[in-house]
Chain A
Amino acid sequence: MSMRVIECNQLSLELGGSRVLDGVTFSVEEGDFLGIVGPNGGGKTTLLRVMLGIQKHDCGKVSVFGKPPGHSPEKIGYVPQRLFFDRSFPMSVRELVLMGRLPKKSLFERYNAVDRACADEAIHLTGLERLMERRIGDLSGGELQRVLVARALAGKPELLLLDEPTSSIDPEMKTTIYDLMIRLRGSLTMVLVSHDTETIRHYVTKMVNLNVTLNLLHGFENH
């Protein structure tokens, strides 16, 4: 029997006085590829942030790897949507990817050969070898998006959470990112947030639809 990775039961949450999530229920088993879809502003990113433990919820029960959210960082890889950081930050692609090793390291501990090997492997997997020494400010949006995927993979996660990894990039790059997800499918559990229901329908094994109307619609099971 496969292990339950995420359990979300009757989750509700209000932000700034409006109800963003209302009675959301779903579960993710080991090896699943879950798509979370819904309109813009429908609470998809908020739901992801709850699972990451950086957003508190009002009621309902959420557990990740059998623990409250935020208690298993070493098992989770996160690919954020918006590139909040400063593009002029003096850092190379390799250094950024190496940051994905943080969850596996304790305070004071320095990055070692194993960390570098994992970062290089992630760089290879995402086809970024050519850009490895580039300054992050010199990358295109699509390249940067792949670097963020590489960073998440460098931590050898069991669960990969992706927030709109294909928004604001050109169509070719989108295909590259989806190809990568197909290659990863099965080897780890993935949760993908997207507003593009039609496209991700072909890739995911399970879908949750956060509609503007209450409750979730358990879309389909795609096995």
Chain B
Amino acid sequence: MLQEILAFDFMRNALLAALLSSIACGIIGSYVVVKKIGFISGGIAHTAFGGIGLSYYLGINPLFGIIPFSLAAAMAIGLLGKKANVAEDTAIGTLWAIGMAVGVIFIGITPGYAPDLFSYLFGNILTVPTFDLWMILLLDFLIVVLVWLFNKEFLAISFDEEYAEVSGLPTTALYLLMLALIALTVVIMVRVVGIVMVIALLTIPAALARTFSRSLPRMMLVSVLLSALFSIAGLWLSFLLDIASGATIILVAGSTFFLVHAWRLLFVVLKKR
């Protein structure tokens, strides 16, 4: 069965994309969960739609449109919240909609039909070209190196930002860097689950990992493994049932999440009796 599946080039690429994206997703997702910035990540992802529209218009690889748009969204949300005294959810909501609007306009003025627009919105891991795999690998490398370098600072601002500031850390710069890493993770994830569903894969594995982890590095490791497991299981199921891969991955992750919590709840109830 496995050999059969791997005989297809696109399946090999899909598996590699699933595994490689899990690295960024598990590590950065852990920060997203402990710092409770899932909604910010959703905002960054949706703003990136503007980048997709722009790259359609310019006729370039959408990754090159998504990267600047998601990075700009990260900086704008971070700076508006920290420096301009704009409520964070207002900043997120505004950028989210502006990004989507820009994308719609660009796609509208681009002559012809936007062929795989759907796959950027909802992901299509089966169509990842080899070039994008290299990009994902490069971004993974960048993310791992930066997290390794800044691990004590990121831990400090995730845990207690005020204390980090009192300790003399440049907290705003560090926060913006963290948001930039989230933006790059979004870029990676777009291929796998699409911009609409990025938040789920960014948060579910990490949220599950937290319940079994005593430290943040441990949580990241468990989260990477869970994310890989969900992606591969989802990919396999979608192949078997011939249904959309991105959505299947999300549903596998989501149902595991609810099953684990239902189990824990049941355990608590049984213990009380």
Binding site for B on A (CB under 8 A): 52-54, 70, 73-74, 76, 78, 80, 84-86, 88-92, 95-96, 99, 102-103, 105, 107-108, 110-111, 135, 155
Contact = CB atoms under 8 A, between A and B. Distances in A.
A118 B36 CA distance: 31
Contact of B162 (A84, A91, A95, A103): A84
Given A102-B156, A102-B169, A107-B153, A91 B216 contact: yes
B160 A84 contact: yes
Listed residue (A86, A92, A155) with the most chain B CB atoms within 10 angstroms of its CB? A86
Contact of A95 (B36, B215, B219): B215
Contacts of B215: 90-92, 95
B149 A108 contact: yes
A111 B152 CA distance: 8
Interface in B141-167: 149-150, 152-153, 155-156, 158-160, 162-167
A56 B153 CA distance: 24
B162 A135 contact: no
A154 B166 CA distance: 15
Contacts, number: 69
- Interface residue tally on B, bucketed by range: 20 to 34
A90 B155 contact: no
Given A84-B160, A99-B159, A90 B168 contact: no
B166 A78 contact: yes
Interface in B118-158: 149-150, 152-153, 155-156, 158
Q: Is the interface of B mostly helix, strand, loop or mixed?
A: helix
Interface of B: 34, 36, 149-150, 152-153, 155-156, 158-160, 162-169, 210, 213-216, 218-219
A110 B152 contact: yes
Contacts of A110: 152
A54 B162 contact: yes
A155 B216 CA distance: 22
A90 B216 contact: yes
Contacts of B159: 85-86, 89, 91, 96, 99
A102 B167 contact: yes
Given A99-B155, A99-B156, A102-B152, A90 B213 contact: yes
A86 to B, nearest CB: 7
Contact of A90 (B36, B169, B214): B214
A88 B30 CA distance: 13
A105 B34 contact: no
B166 A54 contact: yes
10 contacts: A52-B166, A54-B162, A54-B166, A84-B162, A90-B210, A90-B214, A90-B219, A91-B214, A111-B152, A155-B167
Given A102-B152, A111-B152, A80 B162 contact: yes
Contacts of A91: 155, 159, 214-216
A223 to B, nearest CB: 30
A99 B162 CA distance: 13
